[in-house]
Chain A
Amino acid sequence: MSLLTVEGLTVEFGGARAVRGVSFGVGKGECLAIVGESGSGKSVTARSLVGLSGGRVAADRLEFGGEDLRGLPERAWRRIRGRRIGFVLQDALQALDPLRTVGREVAEPLVVHRTVPRRRIPDRVRRLLEDAGVPDPERRAGQYPHQLSGGLRQRALIASALAAEPELIVADEPTTALDVGTAAQVLDLLAGLRDRGTGVILISHDLSVVARLADRIAVMKDGLLVEQGPAGQVLTAPRAPYTRMLLDAVPSGYAEPVEVGEPVLEARSVSKRYDGRTVVDGVSFELRAGESLGLVGGSGSGKTTLARIALGLVEPDAGTVLLDGEPWSGLPERRRRPRRARIQPVPQDPYGAFDPRYTVGRLLDEASRLSGETATAEDLLRQVGLTGELLDRRPRDLSGGQRQRVAIARALALRPAVLVCDEPTSALDVSVQAGILALLDRLQRERGLALLFISHDLAVVRKVTQRVVELADGRVVASGPTRDWRGDRETIPEPHRI
Chain B
Amino acid sequence: MIAGVVRRVVGAIAVLLGSGTLAFAALRLIPGDPAATLLGGAPATPEAIARLNDELGLDRPLPVQYATFLGRAARGDLGWSFQYNAPVTEVLGQEIGPTARLTLTACALAAAGATALALLTAGRRVPRAVSGTVELVGSSTPTFWLGIMLLTLAGFRADGIWLPALTLAVPVGAVLAQVLRDGLETALSSPFVLTARTRGVADRRVRRAHALRHALIPALTVLGWTAGSLLAGAVVVESVFARPGVGRVAVEAVMAKDLPVVVGAVLLASVVYVVVNTLVDLAQLLVDPRLREV
Chain A interface (Cβ within 8 Å of chain B)? Answer: 50, 52, 74, 77-83, 85-87, 89, 91, 94-100, 108-109, 112-113, 144, 146, 157, 160-161
* Contact partners of B194 in chain A: CB under 8 A: 52, 89, 95
Q: How far is the CB of B114 from chain A (nearest CB, A)?
A: 20
A78→B200 contact, CB < 8 A: yes
Q: A80-B200, A95-B192, A99-B288 are in contact. List 9 more A-B contacts (CB 8 A).
A: A50-B198, A52-B197, A78-B201, A82-B200, A82-B201, A89-B194, A95-B194, A146-B289, A146-B290
Chain A's nearest CB lies how many Å from the CB of B187?
A: 9
Q: Are A108 and B199 in contact (CB under 8 A)?
A: yes
Residues of A within 8 A of B192 (CB): 94-98
Which of chain B's residues have a CB closer than 8 A to the CB of A160?
Answer: 195, 199
Q: Contact: B287 with A99, CB < 8 Å?
A: yes
Q: Which B residues are CB-close (under 8 A) to A80? A: 200
What is the minimal beta-carbon distance from A44 to any residue of chain B, in angstroms? Answer: 13
Interface membership of B30, Cβ < 8 A: no
| 25 residue pairs from A and B, CB less than 8 Å apart | A52-B197, A74-B203, A78-B201, A81-B200, A82-B200, A82-B201, A83-B200, A86-B198, A89-B194, A94-B191, A94-B192, A96-B192, A97-B192, A97-B210, A99-B214, A99-B287, A99-B289, A100-B210, A108-B199, A109-B200, A146-B289, A146-B290, A157-B195, A161-B198, A161-B199
A89 touches B191 (CB 8 A): yes
Cα–Cα distance between A113 and B202 once the two chains are bound (Å): 11
Task: With CB as the reference atom, state the residue of chain A lying closest to B210.
Answer: A97
Cβ of B60 to closest chain A Cβ, rounded Å: 50
Q: Which of B191, B201, B203, B213 contacts A108 (CB 8 A)?
A: B201
* Residue of A79, A83, A89 touching B195 (CB-CB under 8 A): A89
Interface centre among A74, A79, A100 (most CB of B within 10 A): A100
CB of A375, distance to nearest CB on chain B (Å): 42
Kindly identify, within residues 192 to 250 of chain B, every residue whose CB is under 8 Å from any CB belonging to chain A. Answer: 192, 194-203, 205, 210, 213-214
User: In the complex, A161 Cα to B199 Cα: how many Å?
Assistant: 7
A121 → chain B, closest Cβ, in Å?
14
How far is it, in angstroms, between the C-alpha of A65 and the C-alpha of B194 when the chains are bound?
Answer: 24
Chain A residues closer than 8 Å to B196, beta-carbon distance:
97, 108
Q: Is the CB–CB distance between A112 and B201 below 8 Å?
A: yes
Point out residues on B near A: beta carbons under 8 Å.
190-192, 194-203, 205, 210, 213-214, 287-290
A98–B198 contact, CB under 8 A? no
Q: A89-B191, A94-B190 are in contact. Are A81 and B287 (CB under 8 A)?
A: no
Chain A residues, Cβ within 8 Å of B287: 99
Whether B290 pairs with A112 at a CB distance below 8 angstroms is no
A78 to B204 CA separation, bound complex (whole angstroms): 12
CA of A157 to CA of B195 in the docked complex: distance in angstroms?
9
- Assembled-state Cα–Cα distance A96/B199 (Å): 12
Nearest-neighbor residue (CB-CB) of A75 within chain B: B202
Closest Cβ of chain B to A117, distance in Å, is 18
Bound-complex Cα distance A159 to B191 (A): 17
B289, A109: Cβ atoms closer than 8 Å: no
Give chain A residues whose Cβ lies under 8 Å from the Cβ of B201.
78, 82, 108, 112
Q: How far is the CA of A99 from the CA of B205 in the complex (A)?
A: 15
B197–chain A nearest beta-carbon distance, Å: 6
B137: min CB distance to chain A, Å: 31
Query: Once the chains bind, are A79 and B200 in contact (CB under 8 Å)?
Result: yes
Which residues on B sit within 8 Å (CB–CB) of A82?
A: 198-201
Cβ-defined contact, B210 with A81, below 8 A: no
Once bound together, how far apart are the Cα atoms of A497 and B289, in whole Å? 17
Given A52-B194, A91-B191, A144 and B290 touching (CB < 8 A)?
yes
B123 to chain A, nearest CB (A): 12
Q: How far is the CA of A98 from the CA of B191 in the complex (A)?
A: 11
Report the minimal beta-carbon distance from A104 to chain B, rounded to whole angstroms: 9
Closest Cβ of chain B to A439, distance in Å, is 32
- Contacts of B200 on A, CB cut-off 8 Å? 77-83, 109, 112-113
Q: Write the chain B residue with the least CB distance to A80.
A: B200
Q: A97-B210, A144-B289 are in contact. Are A109 and B199 (CB under 8 A)?
A: yes
For residue A93, give the distance in angstroms from its CB to the closest CB of chain B: 9
In the bound complex, CA of A74 to CA of B206 (Å): 14
